[in-house]
Structure 1
Amino acid sequence: MAALKDILYKVSLQSVSGNMETEVTSLAFDSRKVQDGTAFVAVKGTQVDGHEFISSSIESGAVAIICEEMPQDQPEGVAFIQVQDSSKALGFMAANFYGNPSEKLKLVGVTGTNGKTTCVTLLHQLFRALGYNTGLLSTVVNKINEEELPATHTTPDAITLNETLAQMVSKGCTHCFMESSSHAIVQNRIAGLKYQGAVFTNLSHEHLDYHKTFDEYIKAKKLLFDNLPAGSFALVNYDDKRGPIMLQNTKAWKHKFALKSFADYKAKILSNTLQGLELDISGYTVWFKLIGDFNAYNLLAVFGTAVLLGEEETEVLEQLSNLDPAPGRFEQVITNTGITALVDYAHTPDALENVLSTIKEFRTGNETVITVVGCGGNRDKDKRPIMAKIACDLSDKVILTSDNPRFEEPGDILKDMQAGITPSNFRKTLTIEDRREAIKAACAMAQPNDIILVAGKGHETYQEIKGVRNDFDDRKVLSEMLNLIHKPN
């Protein structure tokens, strides 16, 4: 419970009607969650305008309404606050309501197209190993130390986010590592948070269904760095041509990591096998369990972040060498069939190319690489033919299949993908809409020593069709089919 005036600290107000001393017991931007004592924030979303639910919120017990457009009907006993941007106001209000928990933590945000989940997962594991109470907010799972909380979005809404951060503080956490998606940044879900630092991994074709242009996507990522406070740090991948852009205009201390460019944190790949990576990192030779050039960048980002947070280099590297990759990221499905089976979350052209290029590096040339891949529905359509082309160019056989079609017809998505198949690749490509059957077909094609990659869903344990999440785990299905078709040795 807090006074309305205190919750509105740092919010830019345009007009006020009513008692600013009103006691507020909860915040809501979903009118269905309003109860007696709630301050309701009317946010204009992509699907629904919260202003349409002001009256019903008052009927449900709202004592304050925060909105961009003042309603004509303003019942007595309810405070009305007009702001320029309700979503931004909600971020600051949530931070104030929960006691500004981000100011009591060393909060680090990681943004970029690929690598976010791996980086925050490794950072959480690393700082736990270093002896800290640590929070994690990721696509896969949210954690307070080792306690798991459900994750529904890459970055939660502002209220849930601050409530979770407050729980971390109450349980003694000193650090929190958080994926910061472009959607969350532009939707002001992270407004009002104080970051100790931010990390940029890379940028490639993604989310243009939402951002419309690549330039807008870049600007969304850059906002995280533009809003960093003085005294914080900005750590960017300087081998990515957008890395320097992220550092423009930031007040934070500027730092770089790279494999190729001059940088504060550098590494050289000494060996890259299915067993792991050996790197020369800041002059130390270290073996890591992660695989692939792309993970060399992730490891560098994590190493640099830890050092910038005050940790000692040799201890960081020692602990980092013991850590496992994030679930569903180049994850091997272990069977005794003699077939190498891999599952990866690669759902962007860059990520798919990275994974298949890594497989190409460690293959002998005598085995067949079979890739099963699809594209999500109600998402950026432009990447579909590109991903099909990459899969065909870098695999011996390709099965196009359904991913999470959501509210689109799987057949329409597959037609978009098929447009990227060149005549020379027709013979190596199959289209099987049913994902289980597609994985089964890949397993039936494979012989001992061959490599199967099932890409796109990674850690996910569901397939979303027409608004329903049906149980489906690529790892379980792949293991089941391999053991069914190929009796273990």
Structure 2
Amino acid sequence: MKLLKDILYRVSLEAVVGNTAVTVNEIHFDSRKVSFNDVFVAIKGTLSDGHRFIEKAIEQGALAVICEEMPKNTVNGITYVQVKDSQQALAYMAANFYDDPSKNLKLVGVTGTNGKTTVASLLYQLFTKAGFKVGLLSTVQIRVGEETFKATHTTPDSVTINSYLKKMNEAGVEYCFMEVSSHGIAQHRTTGLHFAGGIFTNLTHEHLDYHNTFAEYRDVKKAFFDQLPASAFALTNADDKNGKVMLQNTKAKKYTYALKSVADYKAQILENDFGGLLLKVNDHEVWTKLIGNFNAYNVLAIFAASELLGLQTVESLRHISELEAVSGRFQYYISEGKITAIVDYAHTPDALQNVLETINSIRTKNEELITVVGCGGDRDRTKRPKMGHIASALSTKVIFTSDNPRTEDPDKIIEEIEEGVEPQNFKKIMSVTNRRQAIKAACQMAEKKDIILIAGKGHETYQEINGERKDFDDLKIVTEFLKELNK
């Protein structure tokens, strides 16, 4: 429990009605969770406006309200604090409420379109292997040392972030690696956190349903680096044309990594097959179980970050050779009938192209590459034809199917994907709306040595249809179908 005036430290106040020397039990921005002596932060969200629920929060026991607009009718005995930006206020309040936990560990944020989960998760593995207590805040899971918690967002809300960082403090965690999404930056979820470093992976077509333009999306990512302190490091992919943009206004120490450009950390791919990668990293050879050019970038990023955080080169490379693939990131299963099934989270045009080009660079071209792919509903529609174009151009056969249609008609989504298919590739494609049946069809079409790629959902173990999440695990389903075929 904290005094309201103490948790308002660093918050820009517009007006105050009532007493700020009151003791607050919890902070909530969801009125349904408010109880006795809590403070309610009214946030204008994309779907609803928290200001509409101020009265409900007070009825449930809130003793203070943080808002951007003062209610017309205030209640005696309730403290009202007007702020310019409720999301920013929530972030500072959360950090203050949990005793500024990010100050007590080395927090590293990973941002970019693709690779955030892989880089953050591999750094968690690497530093754990090096003997440290480590935390992880990722799309796939949240880790506090060896303890695992379910993740619901790429970047959780600021109250959740700080509560887990507090748990990490209590558990003696020394390093924490965190995915930083563009939504998280724009909504101030990372405001008030003390970062020891930031890593930029790449920037491609994504989230334009939210950010409107690519320039806006890029500038939101850049804002993360702009806010890094001089004591931190800023590590960027020099092969990405937006890599140097991220460093333009940062106060942090600047470092680059690349496979093609001049950079502080360089890598060369010596071997690349389904067994893994052999890399030459800054004149040192290292073998890794990870596969593909995109993973060469990920490995180089974690090597660079580990050195910047103080690990010795030899130790870092030794641990890199022991790292396991991240759930839903180029995970594969080889059946008794010698059919290879690959499950990957690739849900953007660039990620899908990277995965398909990686498979094509490894395969002999004597086998079929059958891709099962869809696009999520209620999300950026402009990428759908691009996904269709890439899948049909780089595969020998394609099955367009449902992803997470949410509130959209999955057949309409598939039609928009098909718009990107060029005439010469029409004969390659088919559509099976039911995702389970689409995976089954791919398994039935596949013959010995063929490759099946199931893209888009990766680690997700559900399918979201009309607001309901139903159990659905791509890897589990394709494995079951391939085993049945071998009976």
* CA deviation after TM superposition for structure 1 residue 72, in Å: 2.4
Counterparts of residues 210-221 of structure 1 (less than 5 Å): 210-221=210-221
Q: Secondary structure at the match of 2:195?
A: coil
Distance 1:371 1:137 in 2: 30
Q: Deviations for 1:204-232, whole angstroms, at most 9, x for unmatched residues?
A: 00111111111111011111101111211
Residue identity in the other structure for 2:451? I
Distance 1:331 1:263 in 2: 30
Distance 1:190 1:124 in 2: 19
Counterparts of residues 110-129 of structure 1 (less than 5 Å): 110-129=110-129
Distance 2:18 2:175 in 1: 39
Residue identity in the other structure for 1:38? D
Counterparts of residues 236-247 of structure 1 (less than 5 Å): 236-247=236-247
* CA deviation after TM superposition for structure 1 residue 486, in Å: 3.4
Residue identity in the other structure for 1:122? L
TM-score by length of 2: 0.99
1:86 is aligned to 2:83: no
Distance 1:445 1:57 in 2: 56
Residue identity in the other structure for 1:237? N
Residue identity in the other structure for 2:434? D
Q: Secondary structure at the match of 2:15?
A: strand
Counterparts of residues 161-172 of structure 1 (less than 5 Å): 161-172=161-172
Distance 1:138 1:106 in 2: 16
User: How many residues end up aligned between the 2 structures?
Assistant: 487
Distance 1:149 1:343 in 2: 23
Q: Secondary structure at the match of 2:381?
A: coil
Q: Deviations for 1:146-198, whole angstroms, at most 9, x for unmatched residues?
A: 21101011111111111111001101101110000101110111111111111
1:16 is aligned to 2:16: yes
Between 239-248 and 58-67, the greater mean CA deviation after superposition:
58-67
- The corresponding residue for 1:177 is 177
- The corresponding residue for 1:147 is 147
Q: Secondary structure at the match of 1:110?
A: strand
Distance 1:47 1:389 in 2: 32
* CA deviation after TM superposition for structure 1 residue 54, in Å: 1.2
Residue identity in the other structure for 1:11? V
Distance 1:109 1:399 in 2: 36
Counterparts of residues 306-325 of structure 1 (less than 5 Å): 306-325=306-325
- The corresponding residue for 1:31 is 31
Question: Aligned residues: percent identity?
Answer: 57
- The corresponding residue for 1:350 is 350
Distance 1:404 1:70 in 2: 39
* CA deviation after TM superposition for structure 1 residue 5, in Å: 1.0
Distance 2:272 2:124 in 1: 24
Distance 1:36 1:462 in 2: 35
Distance 1:296 1:412 in 2: 37
Q: Deviations for 1:102-132, whole angstroms, at most 9, x for unmatched residues?
A: 1111000100110001001100001100111
Distance 2:453 2:35 in 1: 49
Distance 1:165 1:119 in 2: 19
Residue identity in the other structure for 1:241? K
Distance 2:174 2:228 in 1: 19
Distance 1:373 1:411 in 2: 13
User: Which stretches in structure 2 are left out of the alignment for 5+ residues?
Assistant: none
Q: Secondary structure at the match of 2:65?
A: strand
Distance 2:481 2:243 in 1: 42
- The corresponding residue for 1:377 is 377
Residue identity in the other structure for 1:193? L
- The corresponding residue for 1:257 is 257
- The corresponding residue for 1:393 is 393
Counterparts of residues 175-214 of structure 1 (less than 5 Å): 175-214=175-214
- The corresponding residue for 1:61 is 61
* CA deviation after TM superposition for structure 1 residue 78, in Å: 1.4
- The corresponding residue for 2:298 is 298
Residue identity in the other structure for 1:173? V
* CA deviation after TM superposition for structure 1 residue 6, in Å: 0.7
Q: Deviations for 1:220-256, whole angstroms, at most 9, x for unmatched residues?
A: 1111101111211110001000001100111111110
Distance 2:143 2:47 in 1: 30
* CA deviation after TM superposition for structure 1 residue 485, in Å: 2.1
Q: Deviations for 1:32-87, whole angstroms, at most 9, x for unmatched residues?
A: 11111111111110111111111111121111111111112222221111110000
Residue identity in the other structure for 1:276? G
Q: Secondary structure at the match of 1:297?
A: helix
Q: Secondary structure at the match of 1:295?
A: helix
Q: Deviations for 1:275-295, whole angstroms, at most 9, x for unmatched residues?
A: 000000011011001000000
- The corresponding residue for 1:42 is 42
Distance 2:58 2:415 in 1: 48
* CA deviation after TM superposition for structure 1 residue 459, in Å: 1.0
Q: Secondary structure at the match of 2:343?
A: strand
- The corresponding residue for 1:4 is 4
Distance 1:484 1:75 in 2: 66
Distance 1:312 1:110 in 2: 21
Residue identity in the other structure for 1:338? K
Residue identity in the other structure for 1:274? F
Distance 2:391 2:453 in 1: 10
Residue identity in the other structure for 1:397? K
Distance 1:339 1:20 in 2: 66
Residue identity in the other structure for 1:232? A
* CA deviation after TM superposition for structure 1 residue 376, in Å: 0.6
User: Which stretches in structure 1 are left out of the alignment for 5+ residues?
Assistant: none
Distance 1:461 1:81 in 2: 41
Distance 1:332 1:222 in 2: 34
TM-score by length of 1: 0.99
Distance 1:445 1:50 in 2: 51
